[in-house]
Amino acid sequence: MTVFAEAFARDADPDDFSLRAIIAHERGHQLIARHPFLAGVSLAAEEVLASILGAIVLGAGSDRDALLAKATAEVLAGGTPPDDAVRLIGDLWDALEELS
């Protein structure tokens, strides 16, 4: 796996995510790029999906929770109401677990 320096520079606060969470998120991007169904989604959708895939890869713990919060924040930033955002993240989680 290759992780580019820009992946670390994108976040304003380097203490927001652990190195483990950052690498899992970037792994999510790589999984998306290689999956025939997921490749080519919008950048906003890719950010959400990469965070969820990274969370799935990590398993339970604070890093997974941080990535799920990141995914939820991305959906909320797009104007989705909170209840709908939480439901969407859950639905995406279920669908991506089936794909992986």
DSSP letter, residue 27:
H
**Is residue 9 included in any domain, yes or no?**
no
Domain count along the chain: 1
Q: By the 8 A CB rule, do 27 and 56 touch?
A: no
Q: What is the pLDDT of residue 20?
A: 92
Determine, yes or no, domain membership for 13.
no
4 domain-assigned: no
What is the extent of the structural domain holding 34? 18-99
Q: What is the pLDDT of residues 30-83, one digit of tens each?
A: 999 999 888 889 999 999 999 999 999 998 999 999 999 999 999 999 999 999
In a domain, 31, yes or no: yes
Residue 22 lies in a domain: yes
pLDDT at 7 over 70: no
User: Is 6 domain-assigned?
Assistant: no
Residue 3 pLDDT class (50, 70, 90 cuts): low
